[in-house]
Structure 1
């Protein structure tokens, strides 16, 4: 039986203090891509980025849904989510 890979949803803080939400199987590798300028277009001009929040969610489908839900939050709500993990 093949096990499905675990996905994580993450929030990074960009150099201009904006927040970017994404999902990945390997978050540390994805952060490295963002900082190398090969990640999302949004983060290319806002490097370096710093990981502020990470949540393991399971399947790709669950990760997409959770990412969308987090993106609907206000900045204040995202900061509260980040603080709740500390």
Structure 2
């Protein structure tokens, strides 16, 4: 629910953008917002058409695969996003 009464006659979206621009300004340009990493990797996964895994994660999957008799993943054949 919103009263629609945002500073300087802005919409809610414009107000959020103005606040974020202010927070990330003044020497804070390299700061990260909560959820930023997750959102970035979600976008990369969506662009790649599925989940992306690090080399270490794929190697761990392959170690498990060798223990249970499954064929390992080919690292070179997996998308890198």
Q: What range is the shorter-chain TM-score in?
A: under 0.3
Return the TM-score normalized by structure 2. Answer: 0.27
Higher relative contact order (CA 8 A, sep 6+): 1
Return the TM-score normalized by structure 1. Answer: 0.26
User: Which of structures 1 and 2 has the bigger CA Rg?
Assistant: 2
More strand by share: 1
More helix by share: 2
